[in-house]
């Protein structure tokens, strides 16, 4: 008999600093918050990630003067794009968007906590040295299918999807529930192509919730 599928939703970095008025605002990011809330009741497990940097983090241009935002450096043998200070631990910018329903979260994963290395993926840092524990958490919950949405398509969504696939999960990226940075025009399109080439499937919110609208208490 077929083993029943268990599905997890991974909501990536739905935080103030990536939304309107934030330090690293992703265009139209706020649009995905209501979608995240609609999607949640369709999953066995709901996980949210938070980019969670110390103020001295290596991804901050402010820690690498005279380099500035958008410059590429090599730190500890790893290429690193420099960003504005963002998602500093315990600040308002690192909080979830105020409209995100956090009542039914099963797990919150903090990433980018080591000052010496960035972590775009929800599973591993950028050099794959340390795991966040998310893979083992999902395996222990017997999750077979991982659905990923959130911010930003061309960074954290992309690397989380590739890692989830490499860990052996069936991976679905909910395309219309993601928004990207597009530092270079075409980055988002290239990211979606890379995601699908690695064997993850691109789906839409409608594929999951259909015409049906589950009512959830906010």
Active-site residues, by number, are: 13, 111, 156
Going edge to edge, which strands form the sheet with 7-12? 107-111, 45-51, 7-12, 145-151, 170-179, 201-203
For ligand VGL, which residue of 124, 155, 169, 172 counts as binding (CB under 6 A)?
A: 155
- Residue 195 CB, shortest distance to ligand VGL, in Å, is 13
Measured between alpha carbons, how far is 83 from 202 in angstroms, rounded to an integer? Answer: 28
Q: How many angstroms separate the first and last alpha carbons of the chain?
A: 38
Phi-psi region of 185 (alpha: psi -120 to 50; beta: other; left: phi over 0): beta
Instruction: Please report whether residue 13 would count as binding ligand VGL according to CB under 6 A.
Output: yes
Q: Is 83 in the site for ligand VGL (CB under 6 A)?
A: yes
Residue nearest Zn ion by beta-carbon distance: 51
Tell me: does residue 51 bind Zn ion (CB under 5 A): yes
Using CA atoms, how far apart are residues 17 and 11, in angstroms rounded to an integer?
15
Cβ proximity to ligand VGL: between 123 and 155 the closer is: 155
- Which positions lie near ligand VGL, rule CB under 6 A? 13, 18, 51, 59, 83, 120, 151-152, 155-156
| Site residues for Zn ion per CB under 5 A | 51, 112
């Amino acid at each position: 008999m077929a083993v029943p599928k268990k599905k997890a939703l991974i909501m990536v970095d739905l935080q103030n600093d990536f939304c309107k008025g934030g330090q690293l605002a992703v265009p139209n990011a706020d649009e995905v918050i209501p979608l995240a809330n609609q999607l949640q009741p369709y999953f066995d497990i709901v996980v949210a990630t938070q980019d969670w940097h110390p103020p001295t983090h290596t991804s901050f241009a402010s820690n690498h003067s005279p380099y500035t935002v958008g410059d590429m450096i090599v730190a500890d043998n790893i290429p690193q794009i420099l960003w504005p200070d963002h998602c500093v631990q315990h600040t308002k910018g690192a909080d979830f968007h105020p409209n995100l329903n956090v009542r039914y979260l099963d797990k919150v994963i903090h990433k980018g906590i080591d000052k010496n290395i960035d972590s775009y993926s929800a599973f591993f840092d950028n050099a794959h040295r340390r795991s966040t524990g998310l893979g083992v958490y999902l395996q222990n919950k017997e999750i077979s299918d991982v659905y990923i949405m959130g911010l930003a398509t061309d960074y954290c969504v992309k690397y989380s999807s590739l890692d989830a696939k490499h860990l052996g999960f069936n991976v679905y990226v909910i395309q219309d529930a993601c928004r990207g940075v597009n530092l270079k025009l075409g980055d988002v399109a290239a990211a979606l192509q890379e995601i699908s080439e690695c064997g993850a499937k691109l789906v839409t919110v409608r594929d999951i919730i259909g015409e049906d609208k589950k009512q959830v208490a906010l």
